[in-house]
Amino acid sequence: MEKVKVKINGKTVQVESGKNLIQAARLVGVEIPHFCYHEGLTVAGNCRMCLVEVEGEPKLMPACATYVREGLTVLTDTMKVKEARRAVLEFLLVNHPLDCPVCDQSGECKLQDYYMEHGKYESRFREKKIKRQKAKRIGPHIVLDQERCVLCTICIRFCREIVGKRQLGLFSRGDYACIDIFDIQPYDNIYSGNVADICPVGALTDGDFRFLCRAWFLQSTESICPGCSRGCNIYLHHQENKRYLGNGRRLFRVKPRYNPDVNKWWICDLGRYGCTFIDQKRIHEPQKRQNGSFIPVSWNEAYFEIAQLLASLTKRDSSSIGVILSPHLTNEDLFVSKEFFTNLGITDIHFSAVSPDLYHDDFLIKEDKFPNRKGAELIITNSGVASTDELLEKAKNGAYSCLFIIGQDIVKAYGEEHILQCLKKVETVIGQFSNENQTTPLVNYLLPAATFAEKCGSFINFEGRIQKIKQAFSPLHQSKIDWQILVELAKEMGKIMPYNNEQDILKKLSKEYKHFESLDYQKIGMHGLKLNGNE
Partner 1 sequence: MAKEPIRILTKNWDIKNSNTIEAYIKNGGYKALEKAIKQMNPEQVMDEVKKSNLRGRGGAGFPAGVKWGFVPKDSDKLKYLCVNADEGEPGTFKDRYIMTLDPHMLLEGIAITSYAVGISAAYIYIRNEYIESIAILKTAIQEAKAKNYLGASILGSNFNLEIYVHRGAGAYIAGEETGLIESLEGKRAMPRIRPPFPAAVGVFNCPTVVNNVETIACVPSIIEHGGEWFAGIGVSKDGGTKLYAVSGHVNNPGVYELPVGTSLQKILYEHAGGIKGGELKAVIPGGISASVLAARECDIAMDCQSVAKAGSMLGSAGIIVMNNRVCMVEALFNIAEFYAEESCGQCTPCRSGSHWIKNILERILHGKGKTDDLEIMLSFIPGIMGRTICAFGDALCGPVQSFITKFRDEFEYHIIEGKCNIRNKLDIL
- Cα dihedral 53→54→55→58 (10° resolution): -70
Per the CB < 8 A criterion, the answer to whether 449 and 480 are in contact is yes
Check binding of 268 to partner 1 (CB under 8 A).
Answer: no
Residues 37-56 that bind partner 1 (CB under 8 A): 43-49, 51
Q: Evaluate whether 467 touches 261 at the Cβ level (below 8 Å).
A: no
Residue 3 C-beta: closest distance to partner 1, Å: 22
Q: Does 19 bind partner 1 (CB under 8 A)?
A: no
62 binds partner 1 (CB under 8 A): yes
Distance CA 327, CA 333 (A): 10
Q: Which is nearer to partner 1, 47 or 323 (CB)?
A: 47
199 lines the binding site for partner 1 (CB under 8 A)? no
Q: Which region, judged by CB under 8 A, interacts with partner 1, from 81-89, 332-340, 371-379, 442-450?
A: 81-89
Torsion angles phi and psi, residue 430, rounded to 5: -105, 125
Is 157 an interacting residue with respect to partner 1 (CB under 8 A)? Answer: no
Q: What angle do the packed helices 482-492 and 299-316 form, to 10 degrees?
A: 70
Contact between residue 450 and residue 482 where contact means Cβ atoms under 8 Å apart: yes
Close Cβ partners of 144 (under 8 Å, ≥ 6 residues apart): 133, 135, 136, 137, 138, 179, 180, 181, 187, 203, 204
Q: Identify which of residues 130 and 526 has a Cβ nearer to partner 1 in the complex.
A: 130
Q: Does 133 bind partner 1 (CB under 8 A)?
A: no
Which amino acid is present at 527?
A: H
Q: Does 112 bind partner 1 (CB under 8 A)?
A: no
75 contacts partner 1 (rule: CB under 8 A): no
**Part in contact with partner 1 (CB under 8 A); list of ranges 119-127, 199-207, 271-279, 414-422:** 119-127
Instruction: Find the binding residues for partner 1 in span 86-105 (CB under 8 A).
Output: 86-88, 90-92, 94-95
Length of the chain in residues, anyone? 535
Residue nearer to partner 1 on the CB measure, 52 or 430: 52
In sequence order, the β-bridge partners of residue 416 are none
The residue from 2, 56, 59, 295 that contacts partner 1 (CB under 8 A) is 59
- How many residues of this chain interact with partner 1, rule: CB under 8 A? 38
Q: What is the rounded distance in angstroms from the CA atom of residue 64 to the CA atom of residue 157?
A: 15
CA dist 197 and 270 (Å) reads 16
Distance of alpha carbon 235 from alpha carbon 253, whole angstroms? 8
What's the rounded Cα separation, in Å, for the pair 113 and 431?
50
Q: How far is the CB of 52 from partner 1 (least distance, A)?
A: 12
CA 197/CA 508 separation, integer angstroms? 39
126 part of the interface to partner 1, by CB under 8 A: yes
Q: 238-249 burial string, b = 16+ CB within 10 Å, else e?
A: bbeeeeeebeeb
113 binds partner 1 (CB under 8 A): no
Q: Which is nearer to partner 1, 2 or 127 (CB)?
A: 127
Q: Which is nearer to partner 1, 97 or 441 (CB)?
A: 97
Closest by CA position to 266, among listed 178, 179, 154, 171: 154
Judged by CB under 8 A, the chain residues 373 through 412 that form the site for partner 1 are: none
Shortest distance in whole angstroms from residue 114 CB to partner 1? 12
CB of 181 to partner 1, least distance (A): 16
Provide the terminal-to-terminal Cα distance of the chain, rounded to the nearest Å.
27
Per CB under 8 A, contacts with partner 1 among 168-187 are 170, 172-177
User: Is 120 near partner 1 (CB under 8 A)?
Assistant: no
**Closest distance to partner 1 from the beta carbon of 112 (Å):** 17
Kindly list the residues in this chain that would bind partner 1 in the complex (CB under 8 A).
43-49, 51, 58-60, 62, 65, 83-84, 86-88, 90-92, 94-95, 124-128, 130, 150-151, 170, 172-177
